[in-house]
Amino acid sequence: MMGDFTIDQLTIPATLNGPGGADFIRSVEVGNEVEAIGYGTADVTYEPDEELPIFSNPHEPKHVLVARVGGGIVARALCETTLGDDADTAWLTTEVLPEFRRRGIGTALADAVENMALADGKSKAIVYSPVAEGPGPRMDSPTGYGSIRADDPSVTFLTGRGYRLEQIERLSRLPLPIAGLDGLVVAAEERCGPEYRLHYWVGRTPERWREGIAHLGTRMSTDAPTAGLEEPEDIWTAERVKESDDRAERMSPRRRITAAVEHLPTGELAGFTILSVPQQQHRAVDQYATLVLKEHRGHALGMLLKVGNLAHLERVKPGHPSIMTFNAEENRHMLDVNEAVGFVPVASEGGWRKDLR
Ligand SMILES: CC(C)(COP(=O)(O)OP(=O)(O)OC[C@H]1O[C@@H](n2cnc3c(N)ncnc32)[C@H](O)[C@@H]1OP(=O)(O)O)[C@@H](O)C(=O)NCCC(=O)NCCS
């Protein structure tokens, strides 16, 4: 018991209807409510049935703590890690409902998840935190790209806990549908020349491409700019791709729409992009990874992949209102492609780091 609140750890439930399901659902709702304020939109929130498979992923263990007042959950904190020998990083989140702030709940939860990370042998914490726009003083990113409101509670809170702002991410929205999409795909195919060919699939990765997707997945963790956050390498294997696909098929109501580009002379994949589509047509689609391998850059493959997969989405899951995507503010190549397609900025998120030992 601390003050008028208590803290406990949730067990990730096997199903939402079974033991622990109601608490898990409520913890997701609390997180979603806080995030909708920070992003100024609920378009990036995942429902409990979409979160459960993500929280059940053995490659990315997650601990959930909640704070209760009068028995009801009013705040949550997450400690997320990855497996692997050089896995030195924990990704932490602390979210308190607005009406329960400034009474020490955030501090108690953040202390607890930092201690969990330390007990897990992690030496570094990374926190991504949305910042609602507004007037007033700004805090600039040390990368030179982007700024956030300096008097946001997250800034005061995290600075006070010894975190450094390292990077700013931009959340952007693309309204759908896009006029003249098929023409854009033809133009992109002409620009990249005869050595490259697009492949498309929904859901499971075809066996033929599992190795290639694993390689791209690993490179995604090292090749996307992460500034002073120094996000660690996350190694994918064909087996992990299969296991991840199987879990998604079994548990997730969302569908993955993939486009990948083959380099015909070598038969290898040069890049990929994935959209994650919710079941409900009125909800936004989420952009997952997009990557072109370094040795294949300069052939306009980023644009080819993006417009190719947008056309693929139109064919297999039409009617969604928009696509949401996160990009580092300094990632000009990716932002150029996205802006050319029609993405517009809607919110900012700070990327913070603390060395725990
Ligand atoms: C940041 C957040 C977790 C703080 O939760 P909280 O329960 O209010 O935190 P605490 O009561 O323990 O506050 C600790 C200190 O942070 C600072 N702080 C927190 N909110 C502040 C605010 N609105 N203005 C100024 N300082 C603030 C203060 O120094 C405060 O100490 P004090 O109350 O003794 O002055 C909460 O505002 C929140 O959920 N925000 C949205 C999500 C987020 O940004 N999370 C942080 C990154 S994961």
CATH number of 119's domain: 3.40.630.30
Kindly state whether residues 201 and 285 are assigned to the same domain: yes
104 Cβ inside 6 Å of ligand 1: yes
What does the alpha-carbon distance between residue 98 and residue 18 come to, in Å, rounded to a whole number? 30
Split into its structural domains, the chain has a count of: 2
Kindly state whether residues 28 and 164 are assigned to the same domain: yes
148 Cβ inside 6 Å of ligand 1: no
Q: Provide the sign of the torsion angle of the four alpha carbons 62, 90, 38, 332, taken in this order.
A: negative
Q: Residue 1: pLDDT above 50?
A: no
Q: Helices 301-316 & 181-192, crossing angle to 10 degrees? A: 150
Three-class DSSP category at 227 = helix
What does the alpha-carbon distance between residue 232 and residue 34 come to, in Å, rounded to a whole number? 27
Question: Whose CA is closest to atom 24 on ligand 1?
Answer: 153
Question: Whose CA is closest to atom 46 on ligand 1?
Answer: 154
Mutate to test the pocket of ligand 1, among 32, 45, 102 (most ligand atoms within 8 A of CB): 102
105 Cβ inside 6 Å of ligand 1: yes
The pLDDT tens digits for 3-19 are 799 999 999 999 999 99
287 in a domain, yes or no?
yes
What does the alpha-carbon distance between residue 214 and residue 217 come to, in Å, rounded to a whole number? 5
Which ligand 1 atom minimizes the distance to the CA of 131? Answer: 44
Q: In terms of C-beta distances under 8 Å and separation of at least 24 residues, what long-range contacts does 273-282 make, across chains too?
A: 273/305, 273/306, 273/309, 274/309, 275/309, 275/313, 275/323, 277/313, 277/317, 277/320, 278/47, 278/50, 278/253, 278/254, 278/320, 279/253, 279/254, 279/255, 281/319, 281/320, 282/320, 282/321
- Centre of ligand 1 from the C-alpha of residue 100, in Å: 10
Specify the DSSP element, H or E, that contains 94.
strand 89-96
The structure tokens 């995030």 sit at 35
Question: Whose CA is closest to atom 10 on ligand 1?
Answer: 104
Q: Residue 2: pLDDT above 60?
A: no
The average pLDDT across 122-151 equals: 96
CA quadruple 213, 219, 221, 225: dihedral, nearest 10: -130
160 Cβ inside 6 Å of ligand 1: yes
Token duo for residue 237: 């294997």
pLDDT the model gives residue 85? 63
Kindly state whether residues 32 and 151 are assigned to the same domain: yes
Three-class DSSP category at 25 = helix
250 Cβ inside 6 Å of ligand 1: no
Kindly state whether residues 105 and 81 are assigned to the same domain: yes
Kindly state whether residues 114 and 222 are assigned to the same domain: no
334 in a domain, yes or no?
no
Question: Which residues lie across from 168 on neighbouring strands?
Answer: 350
Kindly state whether residues 132 and 21 are assigned to the same domain: yes
- Centre of ligand 1 from the C-alpha of residue 107, in Å: 7
pLDDT the model gives residue 84? 74
What does the alpha-carbon distance between residue 324 and residue 343 come to, in Å, rounded to a whole number? 8
What does the alpha-carbon distance between residue 120 and residue 117 come to, in Å, rounded to a whole number? 5
Kindly state whether residues 161 and 194 are assigned to the same domain: no
Mutate to test the pocket of ligand 1, among 94, 157, 166, 352 (most ligand atoms within 8 A of CB): 157
Q: What are phi and psi of 120, to 5 degrees?
A: -85, 0
Kindly state whether residues 187 and 110 are assigned to the same domain: no
327 in a domain, yes or no?
no
What does the alpha-carbon distance between residue 139 and residue 1 come to, in Å, rounded to a whole number? 36
Query: 324 Cβ partners below 8 Å, 6+ apart?
Result: 43, 44, 171, 172, 173, 284, 285, 286, 287, 346
What does the alpha-carbon distance between residue 25 and residue 295 come to, in Å, rounded to a whole number? 44
Kindly state whether residues 148 and 190 are assigned to the same domain: no
Which ligand 1 atom minimizes the distance to the CA of 97? Answer: 39
353 in a domain, yes or no?
no
pLDDT the model gives residue 283? 98
- Centre of ligand 1 from the C-alpha of residue 156, in Å: 7
Token duo for residue 8: 């406990």
106 in a domain, yes or no?
yes
- Centre of ligand 1 from the C-alpha of residue 160, in Å: 9
114 Cβ inside 6 Å of ligand 1: no
152 Cβ inside 6 Å of ligand 1: no
The pLDDT tens digits for 17-63 are 999 999 999 999 999 999 999 999 999 999 999 999 999 999 999 99
Share of the chain above pLDDT 90, in %: 93
294 in a domain, yes or no?
yes
104 in a domain, yes or no?
yes
Least confident of 77-86, 99-108, 250-259: 77-86
pLDDT the model gives residue 113? 98
Burial of 217 (0-12, 13-18, 19+ CB in 10 A): buried
**Which structural domain, as residue segments, surrounds residue 132?**
6-170
Kindly state whether residues 159 and 210 are assigned to the same domain: no
Kindly state whether residues 193 and 166 are assigned to the same domain: no
